Structure 1
Amino acid sequence: DAPLGQLPYLTVDGEKMPQSIAFARMLARRFNMAGSNELEQTRTDVVVDTISDLQNSYYLKVFKATEKKDEVIAKFLSEDALVHLERIETILGLYGNEGFSVGNSLKWSDLHLFDVTSIILTLKADILDKFPKIKAIRKTVESNEKVAAYLKSRPETSF
């Protein structure tokens, strides 16, 4: 029943919308989390795409691994993850301010960063120690009143 035969999808006005980044971007615009002008929106998209590179690497290498999973995880953490985290840290230095990925307010890129790094942290709890900008954004997101309430009440899942 999913439009592309996969999850997630979002139903909006009776229409099923596939592709999570596309509908996240739509929701960000709807709830004023995409950026206040065209340049800020583009910067936010750049940050999201850079984070998505890490997410896609995780899915392709770790999540899909069927054999020698411990070795695959170790290699991912020591190579791919670090390269992507360094790129994210760099782009945050260009566009962000203390605790925000773009500008001075919470954007959907901050939420995306929190989500993707939460998965990576389950593999190695100290992997972000050398990435202070990423850690600052995580702190901003988890201290947001609405996010904190959600995190406190959400069900435990393996994903």
Structure 2
Amino acid sequence: MPSYKLYYFEVRGAAELARLIMKQAGQDFEDIRINGLTEWPTKKLEMPLNAVPVLEVDGKKFCQSMAIVRYLAREFDLMGSNNMEALVIEELLEIFTEITVKHLMKMYYEQDQDKKVEKMKEFKETGMPPYIKLMEKRLMENNDGKGFYVGDKVTVADLAIYNTMFNFKKWMGKEGQDPFEGSTLLNALYERVALLPNIAAWAKARPETDM
């Protein structure tokens, strides 16, 4: 079994889905959290492309968060049972990447708090609904939405939904702008994933951070 080290900053951020995968799989790994002010100027010189997250596998470092996620999902049998399930999972992962690039970054880096909340409101009302509609459709296509996102066992899709919803609930929810509010199906899935023993244990054990 390979040895794993995961390098990232002292937050959940772009490394958390990889952490969730390994926690769900029961895989031991070194969760190396870098202080952005004191350690990063030196540490970044050790990283491919001078960026994190980075996954080290048996001493070899690899970058790009979604490449890491896909590798780990395949490694720990969380990428579905066939190519069609994998396609549905890939579709979802690309949806979350698109949301991050097209919407999340614009909201997160807005310096004016009033404008930030306004962008959150616009995203909740007009930006997010098309994505939620498709996610709900896919969920309903699998066991009428009563089980997992695809197939009959947990996959990285379920972990990605849980991770994304947790972040939005924590960040936008405090402004009254949780974009998943009112989605009964997705919130029920969120609760099912939150109750998975390994995920519940990690949620209690992980450091409390704003993002």
Same fold (TM over 0.5): yes
Residue of structure 2 aligned with 1:90, choices 131, 134, 138 = 134
- Residue by residue over 1:112-132, the C-alpha shift from the partner in whole angstroms, topping out at 9 and shown as x without a partner, is 111122121122256222212
Q: Distance in 1 between matches of 2:49 and 2:162?
A: 27
Does residue 1:117 correspond to 2:165, yes or no?
yes
Task: Find the counterpart in structure 2 of residue 64 from structure 1.
Answer: 109
From 87, 104, 119, the counterpart of 2:152: 104
2:148 match: secondary structure: coil
The separation in 1 between residues aligned to 2:102 and 2:124, in whole angstroms, is 8
**Which residue of structure 2 aligns with residue 74 of structure 1?**
118
Provide TM-score, normalisation by structure 1.
Answer: 0.86
Find out whether 1:140 has 2:189 as its counterpart: no
TM-fit CA distance, 1:41? 0.7
Q: Distance in 1 between matches of 2:146 and 2:100?
A: 23
In 1: Cα distance, 2:54 partner to 2:103 partner: 21
Counterpart of 1:134, as a letter, is L
TM-align CA RMSD:
2.0
Tell me the amino acid that sits aligned with residue 132 of structure 1.
Answer: T
Structure 1: runs of 5+ lacking an equivalent = none
Rounded Cα–Cα distance in structure 2 between residues aligned with 1:144 and 1:61: 33
* Bigger mean CA offset, 108-117 vs 26-35: 108-117
Cα offsets for 1:72-102 (capped at 9, x unmatched)? 2332x22224433541342342254324222
Aligned to 2:23: none
Q: Which amino acid aligns with 2:199?
A: V
1:11 Cα offset (Å):
0.7
Q: 1:109 to 1:71 in 2, by over 3 A?
A: same
Higher relative contact order (CA 8 A, sep 6+): 2
Task: Name the CA shift for 1:24/1:35 in 2 (closer, same or farther; >3 Å).
Answer: same
Relative to the length of structure 2, the TM-score reads: 0.67
Q: Secondary structure at the match of 1:10?
A: strand
Q: How many residues are matched?
A: 157
Deviation per CA, 1:44-63: give whole Å up to 9, x if none. Answer: 11111112222334542122
Does the 8 Å CA contact 2:47/2:54 hold for their aligned counterparts?
yes
CA distance in 2, matches of 1:23, 1:115: 16
Structure 1 contact 9–19 (Cα < 8 Å) conserved: yes
5+ long unaligned stretches in structure 2: 1-45
Residue 54 of structure 1 corresponds to 99
Q: Which SS does the other structure have where 1:16 is aligned?
A: strand
Relative to structure 1, the CA distance from residue 64 to residue 124 in structure 2 (aligned partners, 3 Å threshold; closer, same or farther) is same
Return the letter of the residue paired with 1:9. Answer: V
